[in-house]
Amino acid sequence: MARKPDGEHLRREVEQALSALLHMLDGLDRSWGVDPLMSIRNAAGDFNSLLTIAREVFPDSGIIRTLKPLDPDDHLITLITRVASLRGAISAGR
């Protein structure tokens, strides 16, 4: 039977996934002609998975608890805002 990851391991996974997402968003920001109102499509599922794990790893974070999952039709600017909020909450929870 597979061993359940410990809290510290999950915390590192959340931080690494968030870092990868931020790196991707930084690349979009540097791209020419990216519309902040474009739909985020598959990125919504990636963020929502990360948010679910972050809620388990940081159960006492009021900010993480109140963040809403994203919909594929949400805009890029909404994703950026939620990622920034999640990053701030995780940084505060270290």
With a CB cutoff of 8 Å and minimum separation 6, the contacts of 8 are: none
pLDDT digits (tens, 9 = 90+) for 15-46: 999 998 888 887 776 665 677 888 888 889 99
**Contact present, 24 and 50 (Cβ < 8 Å):** no
Q: What is the pLDDT of residue 25?
A: 81
Please state the three-class secondary structure of the chain as a single string: CCCCCCHHHHHHHHHHHHHHHHHHHHHHHHCCCCCCCCECCCHHHHHHHHHHHHHHHCCCCHHHHHCCCCCCCCEHHHHHHHHHHHHHHHHHCC
The confidence band for 58, taking pLDDT boundaries of 50, 70 and 90, is very high
Give me the chain's average pLDDT, please: 86
